Amino acid sequence: MKFTDRLWDSVESIWNGYLEHPFVTGLGDGTLDQGKFQHWLKQDYVYLVEYSRLMAIGAEKSPDLKTMSMFSEMLHGTLFGEMELHRGYAAEFGILEEELLLTEASAVNTAYTSYMLNHAQRGDAAAVAACLLACAWSYNYIGRSLSDKYPEQENNPYKQWVETYSGEDFTSLNGTAMTLLNKLAEGKPERELALLEEIVVKTSLYEYMFWDMCENQEEWPIKVGL
Ligand SMILES: Cc1ncc(CO)c(N)n1
């Protein structure tokens, strides 16, 4: 049994909750409020900057060249593939990239990236791969589920979103993330596997909180004007 099969059993119920989340169903059927989507766009752009740092840490901690290439492939795919989606939508809304980058990460966003960066810095390459997995895999899972459930995308303003996350490039990026973790987890003792599993479950819960944060357009509980 692959390590990712074991992980699937622990995250399946959380991930099925994403599919029923109003933000996610709104993306699929096109009814999502544009203000909520713009909140996602800005928060996610700065999230992806931190997420990219993780892959750079993974490359640095890689035990061999092949592993390093896989982290670097994901880094490249995120910076030049996935983030093009965000830049494209921003341009449509008349939002400049500089403006996206000035977004102050919300409380949930900060907690999520800090959690991952903490584990990535303390752990080995397997811990970094565990931090990356839920993000790539769950977006691909959501993208593919939405494209199956809502095959009629012609008039959906979020069509590009569904196409990006269900498409070939992102599916392949996710395949790399899965292969990477399966390879790095090989031969590890149960004590270490349990920690990797905890990271994947916790990041899956953070993903749920990220959807909630976007649905409710949350930032921080009190505005302090930094
Ligand atoms: C919060 C979040 N999780 C996962 C992805 C997929 O890379 C993303 N763009 N943002």
Tell me which residue range forms the domain holding 181. Answer: 3-21+34-215
Residues 43-78 pLDDT 10s = 999 999 999 999 999 999 999 999 999 999 999 999
Mean per-residue pLDDT, 154-177: 97
209 touches 129 (CB < 8 A)? no
Tokens of 92: 């449509």
Average pLDDT for the chain:
97
CATH number for the domain spanning 173: value is: 1.20.910.10
The residue nearest atom 3 of ligand 1, judged by CA position, is: 135
AA identity, residue 148: D
CB 127 within 8 A of CB 119: yes
The CA 139 to ligand 1 mean position distance, Å, reads 6
Task: Give the residues surrounding ligand 1 with Cβ less than 6 Å away.
Answer: 44, 47-48, 82, 135-136, 139, 207, 210
User: What gap in Å lies between CA 85 and CA 162, rounded to an integer?
Assistant: 11
ipTM for the whole predicted complex goes beyond 0.95:
yes
Tell me if 26 is assigned to some domain: no
What pTM, to 2 d.p., does this model score? 0.97
pLDDT at residue 43, as a whole number: 98
Tell me the three state secondary structure of residue 207.
helix
Look at the chain and report how many structural domains it folds into: 1
Of the candidates 135, 197, 214, 215, the residue annotated as catalytic is 135
Residue 224: what pLDDT? 84
Distance between the two ends of the chain, CA-based, in angstroms?
A: 49
**Domain assignment present for 141:** yes
Q: Indicate which residue's Cα is closest to atom 10 of ligand 1.
A: 44
Q: What is the percentage of the chain residues whose pLDDT exceeds 70? A: 100
**pLDDT value at position 70?**
98
pLDDT of residue 223: 86
- What are the tens digits of pLDDT across the range 106-150? 999 999 999 999 999 999 999 999 999 999 999 999 999 999 999
As given in the structure block, the two tokens for residue 53 are: 């740092």
How far is it, in rounded angstroms, from Cα 183 to Cα 197? 15
> For residue 176, which of 133, 145, 116, 115 has the smallest C-alpha distance?
133
- Model confidence over 145-156: pLDDT tens digits? 999 999 999 999
Q: Dihedral angle at the C-alpha atoms of 179, 180, 184, 185, nearest 10 degrees?
A: -50
Of 139, 206, 210, the residue with max ligand 1 atoms within 8 A of its CB, to mutate for a pocket test, comes to 139
Give a yes or no: residue 28 inside a domain.
Answer: no
pLDDT average, residue stretch 205-220? 98
Say if 39 falls within a structural domain: yes
Q: With the CA atoms of 84, 88, 93 and 99 taken in that order, what torsion angle do they form, in degrees rounded to the nearest 10? A: 30
Which one-letter amino acid corresponds to residue 223?
K
Q: Residue 224: inside a domain, yes or no?
A: no
Q: Which of 82, 131, 197, 207 is catalytic?
A: 207
Residue 223 counted as domain residue: no
Ligand 1: centre distance to CA 136 (Å): 7
Please check whether residue 27 lies inside any domain of the structure.
no
User: How many alpha carbons lie under 13 Å from residue 197 in its C-beta half-sphere?
Assistant: 18
Would residue 65 count as lying in a domain?
A: yes
135 is catalytic: yes
Protein residue with least CA distance to atom 2, ligand 1: 135
Nearest-atom number in ligand 1 for the CA of 134 is 4
Predicted local distance difference test score (pLDDT) of residue 146: 98
Token look-up 């995308």 returns 153
